[in-house]
């Protein structure tokens, strides 16, 4: 079909050599040699969720007629056998997690239950009623972090006293980061200590984030604190407001007061004992006098 169109265009341009026709012939020649383009966007999938692989058919000039899909094949680079094939009006073959969004006109794909082994470069072959094209698709896979968990040590914090604040987030990938903010929005992350534990079990990847924010002296004017989890693209994925129960210094019994109470108790006890001994001594003397 394409070769017939080229011949017709050549005849028209040969026998009608006008300025206007020359422009038309140039456009027609471009149309005949490059009828359409296949374009695919880089894809980022989320583990255990459905991933949209967006592809489209583009025409440099207005396409005559309608382009319809005949068949597609997706092959991972350095592999010979396609991971997914679908000839229109026939049963698809390969990985059943792949599917065409619109088997007639749209070459976009969907991938259900995405896993980390789906990461990589792919060659995507698309055949239509107006020719065939191949495009490169890049797929990367990430995992969302769980909601952060916060704690403090000691649990009962004295206003103006020392405390360590902790924030943990797990099951995310790739490695992200944790930031700390006080109630006014001031970022305290520079004072924190960050650790990352990477796990890779049977192809399932995850990173556990842990952040410690120590204070030698914390004040109630800073509370509450916010622990914010960012992914590897510095996009916020989770946040937890840290409500710290700060006790006033007056609620804490001073060590000197305890000592004073103990001394006072001992003095009272000693006075009672002395009084009893004195009473016994007086009674004994009276008894001796009566005897005499």
**Tens of pLDDT, residues 149-167:** 999 999 888 888 999 999 9
- pLDDT at residue 3, rounded to an integer: 35
% of the chain with per-residue pLDDT over 70: 71
Helix (H, G, I), strand (E, B) or coil at 164: strand
Of 121, 117, 86, 99, give the one whose Cα is nearest residue 52.
Answer: 99
More confident residue, 34 or 7: 34
At the top level of CATH, which class does the domain 149-248 belong to? Answer: mainly beta
Tell me the whole-structure pTM to 2 decimals: 0.66
What are 54-112's pLDDT values in tens digits?
Answer: 999 988 766 655 789 999 999 999 999 999 999 999 999 999 999 999 888 899 999 99
The pLDDT of residue 1 is above 50: no
Q: Which CATH architecture does the domain made up of 36-142 adopt?
A: Sandwich (2.60)
- pLDDT at residue 87, rounded to an integer: 95
Helix (H, G, I), strand (E, B) or coil at 71: strand
* Cβ atoms 133, 126 nearer than 8 A: yes
Q: 84-87 and 93-94 as β-strands: parallel, antiparallel, unpaired?
A: antiparallel
* Cβ atoms 75, 86 nearer than 8 A: no
Mean pLDDT of 246-254: 54
Task: Locate CATH 2.60.40.10 in the chain.
Answer: 36-142, 149-248
- pLDDT at residue 252, rounded to an integer: 46
Cα distance from N-terminal residue to C-terminal residue, the chain: 150
């Amino acid at each position: 079909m394409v070769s017939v169109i080229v011949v017709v265009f050549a005849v028209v341009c040969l026998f009608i050599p006008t300025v206007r026709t020359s422009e038309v012939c140039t456009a027609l020649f471009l149309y005949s040699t490059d009828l359409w383009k296949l374009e695919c966007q880089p894809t980022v999938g989320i583990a255990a969720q459905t991933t949209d692989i967006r592809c489209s058919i583009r025409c440099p000039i207005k396409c005559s007629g309608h382009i319809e899909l005949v068949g597609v094949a997706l092959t991972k680079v350095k592999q010979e056998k396609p991971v997914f094939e679908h000839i229109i009006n026939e049963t698809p073959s390969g990985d059943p997690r792949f599917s065409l969004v619109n088997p007639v006109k749209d070459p976009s794909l969907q991938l259900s239950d995405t896993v980390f082994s789906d990461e990589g470069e792919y060659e995507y072959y698309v055949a239509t009623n107006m020719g065939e094209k191949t495009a490169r698709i890049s797929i990367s896979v990430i995992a969302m972090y769980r909601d952060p968990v916060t704690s403090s040590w000691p649990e009962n914090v004295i206003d103006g006293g020392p405390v360590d604040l902790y924030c943990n987030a797990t099951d995310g990938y790739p490695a992200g980061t944790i930031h700390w903010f006080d109630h006014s929005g001031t970022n305290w992350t520079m004072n924190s200590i960050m650790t990352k534990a990477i796990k890779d079990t049977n192809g399932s990847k995850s990173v556990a984030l842990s952040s410690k924010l120590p204070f030698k002296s914390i004040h109630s004017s800073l509370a509450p604190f916010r622990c914010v989890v960012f992914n590897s693209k510095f996009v916020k994925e989770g946040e937890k407001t840290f409500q710290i129960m700060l006790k006033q210094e007056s609620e804490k019994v001073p060590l000197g007061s305890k000592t004073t109470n103990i001394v006072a108790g001992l003095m009272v006890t000693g006075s009672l004992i002395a009084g009893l001994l004195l009473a016994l001594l007086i009674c004994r003397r009276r008894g001796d006098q009566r005897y005499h």
